[in-house]
Amino acid sequence: MAGSMMSQGKLLVVDDLHKSFGSLEVIKGVSFDMDFKERLVLMGPSGSGKSTLVRCINWIEPPSAGRITFDGKLVEPGKCDIRRLREDIGMVFQQFNVFPHLTALQNVALGPIVVKKTARKAAEVEAMELLAKVGLSHRADHKPGQMSGGEQQRVAIARALAMHPKLMLFDEPTSSIDVELIHEVLDVMVRLADEGMTMIVVTHEMGFAKEVADRVIFMDQGLIIESGSPSEVFEHPQQERTLSFLSKVLLA
């Protein structure tokens, strides 16, 4: 009961999370919590477990051990409906994963129509609004195959927003996008943050982190090794590994 008292007011509490693939443990006991409207940026070298951590939060990757409390409810398959949980957590993937057989509009409207049983008309009206919000009104009737990576990713963001999530997870949202198009996606994410969306963003975009993040969490080898405000972590890193990673990112 003490746990639930402590988690009051928190949107997300991750407690001693572990994740193994076979004998390989990629997350070795990670704990952190998040307030409503908080913006968290997760950084770390590849293989540090940051993507896996994000994927564990909405159970796309079931954790091996540990506890996740979301919006006051302990997430446990059986006790808490995982499928229901996912309605409240939007996810944006590195590879976009937009649905290639559907137009941009259909991509955005599909979730509400299928999952929330929203009437098609109403869902499409809102989908149009969301596409306008990500700057893609003119692409509503195009299929992903006819779009750039930046456009596809913005469709994916609109698709996630259509479910009215309480939390948005971004798993390296700009890593597969041509450099000159990255700003399109980051601009949308900055606007979302300004509107008060709670979000966890796995990214190496330092500029974005400085502008948007309330907190930067730095991971290495499956553990959180440093956490703090962007200026604390970027300007006064306490760990040698953070420093060496940051210098590599800055040089890249």
Give the span between the Cα atoms of 142 and 50, in whole angstroms: 33
Residue among 109 and 246 whose Cβ is closer to other proteins: 109
* Contact pick of 63, 111, 144, 237 for other proteins (by CB under 8 A): 111
CB atoms within 10 A of CB 29: 14
| Chain Cα centroid distance, residue 20 | 21
Strand positions, DSSP E, the chain: 10-21, 24-35, 39-43, 65-70, 73-75, 89-92, 167-171, 199-202, 215-220, 223-228
- Asked whether the beta carbons of 230 and 213 are under 8 A apart, the reply is yes
Does the protein bind other proteins through residue 200 (CB under 8 A)?
A: no
Separation CA 178–CA 175 (nearest Å)? 8
For position 105 contacting other proteins by CB under 8 A, the verdict is no
CA 22 to chain centre: 25
> Cα separation of 162 and 90, whole Å?
9
Does position 3 interact with other proteins (CB under 8 A)? The reply is no
User: For other proteins, which residue of 6, 36, 62, 84 counts as binding (CB under 8 A)?
Assistant: 84
94 versus 227: smaller Cβ distance to other proteins: 94
Instruction: Single out the segment in contact with other proteins by CB under 8 A; choices: 94-102, 121-129, 138-146, 237-245.
Output: 94-102
Residue of 41, 68, 98, 201 that binds other proteins (CB under 8 A): 98
Options 51, 52, 69, 93; binder of other proteins; rule CB under 8 A = 93
Residue among 43, 109, 147, 160 that touches other proteins (CB under 8 A): 160
Site for other proteins (CB under 8 A): which residue of 64, 97, 148, 227?
97
| Contact between residue 109 and residue 128 where contact means Cβ atoms under 8 Å apart | no
Count residues near other proteins (CB under 8 A). Answer: 24
Is 166 an interacting residue with respect to other proteins (CB under 8 A)?
no
Give contact residues for other proteins (rule: CB under 8 A).
58, 60, 83-84, 86-87, 89-91, 93, 95, 97-101, 110-111, 114-115, 156, 159-160, 163
